[in-house]
Chain A
Amino acid sequence: MRYTPPGQPGSIVSVQTHYENFIGGKWLPPASGKYRVDLSPATAAPICEVPHSSPEDVEHALDAAHAAAPAWGEASAAHRAEVLNAVADAIEAHREELAVAESWENGKPVRETLAADIPLAADHFRYFAAAARARESTTTEIDSQTIAYHFHEPLGVVGQIIPFNFPLLMAAWKLAPALAAGNASVLKPASPTPWSILKLAEVIGEILPPGVLNIVNGPGGEIGKALATSPRIAKVAFTGETVTGRLIMQYAAQNIIPVTLELGGKSPNIFFADVMTADDEFLDKAVEGLVLYAFNKGEVCTCPSRALIQESMYDEFMARCLDRIAAIRQGDPMDTETMIGPQVSAQQLEKVSSYVDIGRAEGAEVLTGGHRAHMEGEFADGYFYEPTVLKGHNKMRVFQEEIFGPVLAVTTFSDEAEALSIANDTLYGLGAGVWTRDGSQAFRMGRAIKAGRVWINCYHQYPAGAAFGGYKVSGIGRETHQMMLDHYSQTKNLLVSYDPKAMGFF
């Protein structure tokens, strides 16, 4: 079926001509009175106008967050969990509207937002509602009359800067643990995707106490910086590229506050020859596992963008994969049969195209794709790029840098040692995949790959409860797991003596 795009007659998603910032539970215009146009990447046509905010708006949001944080932080875990579960219920009740809005703004096909982004966003709120309730303080019996009590306390007001690739799910990844731990948030969406999160605020805004969630849209160089440098935040969380990650750490150093960062990867997806020892469901799954590089048009920090294939099965395995890639349906993100939509912006499209040219110049062989995809009718101006496979070697630039598009770099290896060596020959360490029928080999490889998440015989699954985060330059911290509550908490230790006797020093 096909959903009608937001704003068109008959669409399930209403669109106003312009939107405001969400601050203190209210929709407030930017202090500057300036707005800018938000485009759909599928058509390059405007969706609406969003605030072009200034640092003054960040201050207003921080005022609202500071007003809300004490009561929210002191509320019982049971109460906060009740609110977060209500948020999850509301997301689920509006699953289709949110999925359609996010797809139209980001370009990802609605089959992905319906089946993954939106249900997962709801589930992360439920997971952290449960985790916060089940979380226990600890006591240590120092000796029979001296007890150390450890209490979790919220940090207060936190700054959260989210990326464009999963506008709602990345917001949920960051908001759910922060709010569950009792903090209030000032959140800055990514510049290419400012609107769908405002649609989320329409759905969940009234469930949360005013000021617990505040959303300010505007340029990173002005409001992102104003938020990250503010002495009024107690922590900053960021997903994006490495230089901004370093800059955020630098600003955090000036205020001596913690950061969590997720900065991308160049994830290897390793296929051992025994996947082809039978023509069965598992082989079919492994073929899909390679083609998952095109999931979300490759705009995923953990995109399995380097396929390492054991050379003894390369020809046969790659032939099957290329057949599967040829069957990818590209086009209208509103069509539930579409598998890949447009890149999020013209500049991302340009970057992808430029990388493929670099790959060609480096001597990589284009096995499929390699061009901008031309669509008909209303999608003629959309930012579509063909699913592409480049064959080469790991020293090429297309094997070393994150392209953030549907571009797979494929190479071969002879044995396990070489596979491991190639897998770890990268600056990054976010994700990896290992496909084998040999459980011992899977375990060895999984432990030896220097990445925070190694998928064994699966890929691109992001369940709440499995820790996600990077080694090396891929970042600091682990999201989507209850350990993230610690990243959003202060520890209060009460060291109590029940002994009536003096220490005896004086």
Chain B
Amino acid sequence: MTGTEDGRRVVTTPAARQAIAALAARGGPVMFVLSGGCCGGTAPMCFRQGEFITGAGDLLLAEIGRCPFYVDVRLYQAWGEPVLTLDVEPGFPEGFSLPAGDGMHFVVRGQPAQCPAPGSEGPASRA
């Protein structure tokens, strides 16, 4: 498993931390589950803690304060196990996610970690 130098796999921006604190102050701690697939995929869904039932296939990627951040382990592996940055941006929350404040939603950004090429070929061979 990869991570930042201090081993973190989810980095939060100040704006994200502020939004999480505001949500927690209003209704208790929240949880995040990273989604994939159609339409609103690749979005960190934010729920009240315990709202989403996690299973053996869900990896606890990080604890942000008291808020767990989960991802489907198959999805995370398929993505090459990147370090994710949790941030907020203007826009609708996806699916049933809580907003990150008025008119804002949570987003993730992530640079790939190590992306193994199949066989001996480099990723950009044979243009």
Contact = CB atoms under 8 A, between A and B. Distances in A.
Interface of A: 163-165, 190-192, 219-221, 224-225, 228, 239-247, 250, 262-265, 299, 301, 311, 314, 345-347, 350-351, 354-355, 358, 361-365, 367, 391-397, 400-402, 404, 412, 426-428, 473-474
Contacts of A244: 35, 40, 45, 94-96
A245 B37 contact: yes
Interface in B27-46: 33-43, 45
B72 A242 contact: yes
B95 A361 contact: no
Contacts of A264: 36-39, 41
A394 B103 CA distance: 36
Contacts of B115: 362-363, 395-397
A220 to B, nearest CB: 5
- Of A192, A247, A250, A392, the most chain B CB neighbours within 10 A belong to A247
B66 interface: no
B112 A347 contact: no
Given A165-B39, A241-B40, A395 B118 contact: yes
Contact of A394 (B36, B41, B82, B118): B118
A198 B110 CA distance: 37
Nearest to B51: A247
A241 B35 contact: yes
- Of A240, A241, A426, the most chain B CB neighbours within 10 A belong to A241
B121 interface: yes
Contacts of B80: 362, 395-397
Given A220-B95, A247-B96, A404 B39 contact: yes
A246 B109 CA distance: 23
B1 interface: no
Contact of B41 (A225, A241, A247): A241
Given A225-B96, A358-B112, A243 B35 contact: yes
Interface string B97-127: 1110000010101111001111001111011
A392 B37 contact: no
A264 B57 CA distance: 19
Nearest to A250: B53
B126 A412 contact: yes
User: What is the interface of chain B mostly: helix, strand, loop, or mixed?
Assistant: loop
B8 to A, nearest CB: 19
B44 to A, nearest CB: 9
B79 A400 contact: yes
Contacts of A245: 37
Contact of A242 (B37, B90, B92, B127): B37
B127 A365 contact: yes
Given A241-B36, A243-B33, A364 B93 contact: no
A241 B95 contact: yes
B111 A427 contact: no
A360 B123 CA distance: 11
A409 B22 CA distance: 39
Which 3 pairs across A and B sit closest by C-beta, in order of nearness? A264-B38, A244-B95, A264-B37
Contacts of A191: 92
Contacts of A299: 39
Nearest to A164: B39
A345 to B, nearest CB: 6
User: What is the interface of chain A mostly: helix, strand, loop, or mixed?
Assistant: mixed
A249 B68 CA distance: 21
A363 B111 contact: no
B45 A243 contact: yes
B110 to A, nearest CB: 7
Nearest to A367: B127
B95 A402 contact: no
Given A242-B72, A397-B80, A402 B92 contact: no
Interface string B41-63: 11101010001110000000000
Interface string B68-88: 000010110011101000000
Contacts of A391: 124, 127
B78 A400 contact: yes
Contacts of B34: 243
12 contacts: A165-B39, A221-B99, A241-B38, A244-B96, A311-B126, A345-B92, A351-B42, A354-B109, A358-B110, A393-B123, A402-B38, A427-B75
A10 B97 CA distance: 40
Given A244-B45, A364-B124, A473 B112 contact: no
Contacts of B35: 241-244
B121 A393 contact: yes
Contact of A247 (B95, B121, B124): B95
A418 to B, nearest CB: 10
A365 B126 CA distance: 10
Contacts of B126: 311, 314, 412
A427 B35 CA distance: 13
B79 A219 contact: no
A309 B112 CA distance: 25
Given A244-B95, A345-B91, A404 B117 contact: no
A243 B51 CA distance: 12
A402 B97 CA distance: 19
A188 B109 CA distance: 29
B89 A220 contact: no
B37 A396 contact: no
Contacts of B127: 365, 367, 391
Given A362-B112, A402-B41, A347 B107 contact: yes
A361 B37 contact: no
B79 A190 contact: no
A394 B116 CA distance: 10
A341 B53 CA distance: 39
Nearest to A253: B53
Contacts of B52: 243, 246-247, 250
